[in-house]
Every structure is written in C-alpha cells, then in structure tokens.
Amino acid sequence: MDKAVAYTRADLGSLRSGRASISLVDNLSVEYYGQTQPLKGLATINTPDARTIAITPWDRGAMPVVEKAIRENQALGLTPNNDGQTIRLNIPPLTEERRHDIVKSLREKIENCHVSLRNIRHELLSEVRKLEKAKLASQDDAKAAETELNKQMEHYRTQIEQLEQTKTTEIMEV
C-alpha cells in the first residue's frame, strides 16, 4: 500500500501546475544510442526561475534526441528552446480550460490509486479467509485482521485525499 501511494505521489508530480518543476521532465523517456532511458540519466535538470526548466545534457550529441523527446511528448505540451548548450522549457501560465483538464487527469490518477488499494485489500482478505478455512487462524483472528486492514485502508485513503486536495489547489492557483 505504501508503494501504491508513493507511485501516485510521483505520478502526480508529473502533472503541470503552472510552475516549473523538475518532476515534469524527470522521467521523460529518451531514445539514445539505441536504448531508452530517463532524461535524468542523460542530463542535469534544474529550475533557474519559477517559469523555466533548464536541461543541460552531459553529451552535446544528445541535444537533438532530448529536444525531439520533449517535442513529441503530448502530455507536456511544451516547446524546447535550444541555445547549443542548454535546452530551456518556458512554462506558460495555464488557461482555465487546461487547468480543468489537468484536474480531470489528476482525479483519474487518484481513482487508479484507490483501485490499487482496494485490490490489495481484497487479496489480503482472501489470504486471511484461506488461513481461516485451513484452521490456521481462528474466527476472532480473522475478524481482528479485517478490522486492522480496514483501519489501514482508511489511513491510506486519507493520505490519497490529502494528495489530491493539495495538488488540485496547486493546479487551480492562478
């Protein structure tokens, strides 16, 4: 369950919020020397100001492929500016319509996390039921395990809702 929440937290970091964030391009896949690798493995990424992401590839030969990967990524919707040493991405302010689209995408990601948590809960409960049928656990033990699992689910559900609320506020902020 921790992994599902951590994955969702990282996934939400890739959503644009009107501010420059390294996580927007951190795991962007780049095809270089016949291998696909994340951008962070090819370049230094930083944010010199609130509206700009600067990407400096370690190998200048990687500039065209990095630029191409950024252009082709539909989720980003950004145009790279290449000055020969650094690729700069200017983050334009989001329109109201685009903000709503991003929030809709955010809700889908949150729902996927909820589904993952429910699947984990279901798997654990079936394991407990199997132990109970095999007489390796008493009915009281099974009930206690289910109660504890429900408490854990509520804890994780609260974490996910906080993530959603924080990210929604960040996206809708003008």
Q: Determine whether domain 19-90 maps to CATH 3.30.559.10.
A: no
- The residues of the chain that CATH labels 1.10.132.20 are 96-172
Residue 43 in contact with residue 70, Cβ under 8 Å?
no
Other beta carbons within 10 angstroms of residue 89's beta carbon come to: 20
The ranges of the chain annotated as CATH 3.30.1360.40 are: 19-90
Sequential pLDDT tens for the chain (174 residues) = 888 888 888 888 777 776 777 877 877 888 888 888 888 888 899 988 888 899 999 888 888 888 888 888 866 777 888 888 899 988 888 788 888 888 898 999 999 999 999 999 999 999 989 988 888 888 888 899 899 999 999 999 999 999 999 988 888 876
What pLDDT was estimated at residue 120? 92
Q: Are 128 and 142 in contact (CB under 8 A)?
A: yes
> Is domain 96-172 in CATH 1.10.132.20, yes or no?
yes
| Rounded CA separation 49/56 (Å) | 15
Two structure tokens written together for 44: 């230094």
pTM: 0.68
65 CB-contact burial (10 Å; exposed 0-12 / middle 13-18 / buried 19+): middle
pLDDT value at residue 156: 92
